Amino acid sequence: MTGQTIVSGGIQLAGAALAPLAIGAVQWLKARMQGRRGASMLQPYREMRRLWTRSRVRPDGASVVYEAAVPLSVASTFLALLLLPIGSVSPDWGFGNDAIVLFGLLAIGRFALAAAAWDTGSGFELMGAARDLTLAVFVEALFLVVLALLAFPAHSTDLIAMSASAAGGEAWREPAQWAAAVGLGLVILAEAGRRPIDNPDTHLELTMVHEGPTIEFAGRDLALLHWTAAARTWVVLVLAAGVLVPHPGGFAVQLLWLPGWLTAFVILLAVIEATQPKMRLLRVPLLLYGGAVIAMLGLIGRLLGAAV
Amino acid sequence: MTLAGVSAIAGACLIALGGMAAFGRARNRGLDIQIAGVCFLALAGLIVFWSGPAVGADFRSGIDPALGLDPLSGFYLVVLCVVAAPALLFARASLPESGRSAPLIALTAAFVLSMAALVAARDVSTFLVAWELMTLTPAAAMLVWRQDEDVRGAVIFYVGITHVAAVGVWVAMLTLSAEGVLGGEPLGPGGLRTLVLVSALVGFLTKAGIAPFHVWLPRAHPVAPSHISALMSGVMIMLGVYGLSRVLFLWVEDVPSWVGVSLVGLGSLSALVGVLYALVQRELKRLLAFSSIEHAGIVVLGIGAAVLLDAVGQPRWAAIAFAGALLQILNHAAFKGALFLGAGAIGEAAGTLRLDRMGGLLHRMPLTGGAFAIAAFAIAGLPLLNGFVSEWISLQALLRLPVGDSGWFSLVGALGAATLAATAGLAALCFIGVAGVSLLGRPRTSGASEAAEPGGAVAAAIAFLASLCLALALLAGVLVPRLSELGPGFWPGGPSPDLNLPDTGSLPTPALLLALALLAGLVAVVRGSRRAAPAPVWISGQPDEPQLAWTLAGFTKPLRLMADGVLRTRRESTTVSPAGIVESLRFRGDVPHLFDTHLFAPLLWFAARGSKLARRLQSGSLRAYLGYLMALLLFLLLILRLDLLS
């Protein structure tokens, strides 16, 4: 194990602690843009600390499926953190570094919460879980098309190889990369549960998507679920910083690019959040189709480029 | 004679003996003997599959019967036994102890033997006889099991469609045999190759339940007894893929890429059609039948990817794509077998197969219910279980087309991968719903609240298959290199637990599963054992009544609204309001199967009209037949007289 892998592994683990900060920063910036003072960037940590002292809840009739849901979604999201490339390097944890496996790990939490929703039998929870799983159908299909573009320069779906070949930024000379950026942007918005696909601030039972399945959880369970939501956002943002945008230079220089790009993404998320209303649920697939069509056009463009 | 050969012969003899013994006094003894026979067959299959060499005869072009096993046959024999052993155990515990079930047991033996004979057939006559028997024995089993109108309709439909399609199999196999291909050189390019490929595609894919030839499948599977359904769905339809892969990768030289494109297209169509219609079913076994169409589609997608990757010169990935398809077949056998047997057990215990009348069965039958849940999550593609692993391989193989730069086939690969990902997402929605509505929550009817755990043998049969779902996820890295040797291309990857495919980030399921379990345990410990406060579920303060419980229809509503343009749901609501006061509301909604109404209804209409006309010719009157003979004679004489033939 070299120094580089130790550093990158340390940053992967630090993501677990820093993830709520990214969420807090988006909320703070959004409030500023809307002319409010807003809560401090550290607000997510305070909420988690408050929730940690509260008692958990056991809904009537809930079984082991409900009990296992939170540990499983926390554990799978944590594992996803360990697959991320940091500065085009990742320590060999023995979990591989595959892009599709990364998304699979994020899907485990969705599965666990949907099963818990059926376990409690709560209608509101099921409503959110059904929407979440339904949107995931379109998001997963979109992600695969985007991956077909992003994995091309490296000829591999290994995140380290993808990150290394994305570092120089040569891919941006092709229209395919711009199409992939649009598609990946939509995937990030959907996975992170941000507007216009979902509204992270709503707590009205009938409008929630990602927040819906958490409705029967309280206390430490809810604190852990808040962390999971933040960590999911962190994972997709670090992924985009690693495999989409250019980050030239040696390992140390690439490490400096990472906070820079993360800040840029946080600002971008806040701008989208402040300016876009939440879409009607049934229109979201059209948005995602649109992303897939653009990505397919990118692929066709690449093929035409190769043909002439 | 090697151990494998002896074991295979002993197994076949025991199964035949067990089938006959069913007519004796001890019915269970007959099934016991059959189970022992299946174990012997499994041993033979395992030996030949894992370590070779082939036993028995080689393929030959004559029509003298010949039997033998090579590694691919061995693999399919293992698939057969993986389902057959628990299915027989299930039958032993669930069939009534009366003489009525004796013919059914004998037919089960015949069914298992015909499938074993098909994979062991080494000449065209054995192959075709086994093929026909494999179609007819389950039909007979359905008729013996139930005698109502539904079953007769389903069986006619099933036998009719599979027989029309069997023409394709006959044409392909007889042509290959006549050309001396079975025992000799593969068929080179030319018109004959196109004929063989087209007829093989139609014939074998119909058996596999691939859209648009799938309409028999959702009719036939639900009406069969559960252990026959498990065998039909887990093994029989996949033997269509067996025949197809023999033709494509053994008997035909240089498969043209249009075959690959059509396979990817048809596979995508079936996967989507299967899972979309599964989502809107209300009856458990019919839902599972549609899901079999989906999985046959996923397998065919993998085969299509193998053909295309071979055609564009990526032999490593062609081998891996084929291995992924085979692994999907084995996985499907494990979870679909568990689900069909579980459906039988649940239907027996709850008194219904209507999903919205179940609920809370996990509390009432923890062992069977738990195993059913694991199988449902595995088929839903829950990451790190076996269904996810084989879908991951197929996704990677399809992605290899655009990622590995293969010209315009890139588009086919990207579209196929996107379809497969969407299918996985839909399957997740479908089977989380199925597990949730049947096993979790509270019972919806008194039948569900009084359900009891079935006998130990039933639970053991289902639990065996469910634990196989976990084992296959762990063993994938060891199995895939061996499986990749059975098809096209070449991949020099050695077995490793990491499933380290070239140019991917690898999928080390053992490490990931272990880490997941440890971390989840850690979180559970950190969360503390402080007592959680019991609380009612939040439903806006209303009293919690069973009528408020969610149904599968509610769970899939967002998707059905989004896919309404494809599904064309029929909704009909009537309000009874005499004198302006609403007395009752009636709502009826159903999703018609568009392939039935738009594609097969016109075909059936033509067939019925045609047979009506033909019936007019067959008047039964001697004079009319003499007239036909006279007309024919005159016609032939006329031809001779006018010298039309030369």
CB contact under 8 A, A156 and B504: yes
- Give residue-wise pLDDT tens across range B309-333: 999 988 999 999 999 999 999 999 9
Closest chain B CA to residue A99: B505
* In a shared domain, residues B492 and B621: no
Residues of chain B falling short of pLDDT 70? 1, 98-99, 644-646
Closest chain B CA to residue A69: B520
Contact A81, A12 (CB under 8 A): yes
CB contact under 8 A, B533 and A55: yes
pLDDT score recorded for residue B99: 67
Residue B240 lies in a domain: no
> Is some CB atom of chain A closer than 8 A to the CB atom of B399?
yes
CA distance B491 to B644: 59
Residue A302: name the closest of A153, A161, A154, A166 by CA: A153
Tell me the percentage of chain B whose pLDDT exceeds 70.
99
* In a shared domain, residues B515 and B599: no
* In a shared domain, residues B469 and B370: yes
Residues across chain B: 646
Closest CA of chain A from B559, distance in Å: 6
- Chain B residues in contact with A12 (beta carbon < 8 A): none
Give the number of other Cβ atoms within 10 Å of residue B449's Cβ: 16
* In a shared domain, residues B602 and B559: no
pLDDT score recorded for residue A129: 92
Average pLDDT over residues A19-26: 94
Partner-chain residue, chosen from A78, A83, A151, that has the shortest CB–CB distance to B519? A78
CA distance A53 to A71: 18
CB contact under 8 A, B508 and A96: yes
pLDDT score recorded for residue B156: 86
pLDDT score recorded for residue B332: 95
User: What's the total number of domains in chain B?
Assistant: 2
> Is some CB atom of chain A closer than 8 A to the CB atom of B504?
yes
pLDDT score recorded for residue B215: 85
> Is some CB atom of chain B closer than 8 A to the CB atom of A219?
yes
Range of the domain at B307: 260-520+552-566
Average pLDDT over residues A105-120: 93
Closest chain A CA to residue B497: A94
CA A12 to chain centre: 15
Residues of B numbered 414-453 whose beta carbons fall under 8 angstroms of chain A's beta carbons: which are they? 414-415, 417-422, 424-426, 428-429, 432-433, 435-437, 440-442
> Is some CB atom of chain B closer than 8 A to the CB atom of A286?
no
* In a shared domain, residues B493 and B425: yes
pLDDT score recorded for residue A198: 84
Residue B538: name the closest of A64, A129, A121 by CA: A121
Partner-chain residue, chosen from B504, B511, B521, that has the shortest CB–CB distance to A98? B504
CA distance B446 to A56: 32
Residue B368 lies in a domain: yes
> Does A308 score more than 70 pLDDT?
no
Where are chain A's structural domains?
3-307
- Chain B residues in contact with A124 (beta carbon < 8 A): 538-539
Contact B69, B4 (CB under 8 A): yes
Left, alpha or beta for B52 (phi > 0: left; psi -120 to 50: alpha)? left
Size of interface A-B (CB pairs under 8 A): 270
CB contact under 8 A, B399 and A57: no
Residues of B numbered 360-389 whose beta carbons fall under 8 angstroms of chain A's beta carbons: which are they? 360, 362-363, 377, 380, 382-384, 388
Residues of A numbered 3-62 whose beta carbons fall under 8 angstroms of chain B's beta carbons: which are they? 55-61
pLDDT score recorded for residue B414: 92
- Give residue-wise pLDDT tens across range A83-98: 999 988 888 888 989 9
- Give residue-wise pLDDT tens across range B622-632: 888 899 999 99
pLDDT score recorded for residue B548: 80
CB contact under 8 A, A75 and B504: no
- Chain A residues in contact with B512 (beta carbon < 8 A): 79, 95-96, 101, 105
* In a shared domain, residues B464 and B610: no
Partner-chain residue, chosen from A57, A98, A140, that has the shortest CB–CB distance to B421? A140
- Chain B residues in contact with A179 (beta carbon < 8 A): none
* In a shared domain, residues B509 and B607: no
Q: Strand, coil or helix: what is B173?
A: helix
> Is some CB atom of chain B closer than 8 A to the CB atom of A137?
yes
Residue of B555, B557, B561 best to disrupt the A interface, most CBs of A under 10 A = B555
Q: Which residues have CB under 8 Å from A48's CB, separation 6+?
A: A20, A223, A226, A227
- Give residue-wise pLDDT tens across range B369-403: 999 999 999 999 999 999 999 999 999 999 999 88
Using the CB atoms, write b or e for B513-538: b if 16+ within 10 Å.
bebbeebbeebbeebeeeebeeeebb
Q: Strand, coil or helix: what is A57?
A: strand
> Is some CB atom of chain A closer than 8 A to the CB atom of B536?
yes
Residue A64: name the closest of B366, B490, B190 by CA: B366
Residues of A numbered 153-212 whose beta carbons fall under 8 angstroms of chain B's beta carbons: which are they? 155-161, 205
Residue B22 lies in a domain: no
Q: Which residues have CB under 8 Å from A90's CB, separation 6+?
A: A5, A8, A9, A12, A82, A83, A84, A97, A159, A160
Q: Is the dihedral of CA A244, A246, A250, A253 positive or negative?
A: negative
Residues of A numbered 52-111 whose beta carbons fall under 8 angstroms of chain B's beta carbons: which are they? 55-61, 63, 65, 67-68, 70-72, 74-76, 78-79, 83, 94-101, 104-105, 107-108, 110-111
CA distance B496 to B487: 20
Closest chain A CA to residue B521: A71
**What secondary structure does DSSP assign to B222-265, as a single string?**
HHS-HHHHHHIIIIIHHHHHHHHHHIIIIIBSS--HHHHHHHHH
CA distance B575 to B87: 48
Q: Which helix (H) or strand (E) holds A211?
A: none
- Give residue-wise pLDDT tens across range A124-177: 889 999 999 999 999 999 999 999 999 988 899 999 999 998 888 888 888 889
* In a shared domain, residues B440 and B305: yes
Tokens representing residue A281 in the block: 């649920």
Closest CA of chain B from A171, distance in Å: 14
> Does A202 score more than 80 pLDDT?
no
pLDDT score recorded for residue B580: 79
Tokens representing residue A63 in the block: 């079984």
pLDDT score recorded for residue A41: 92
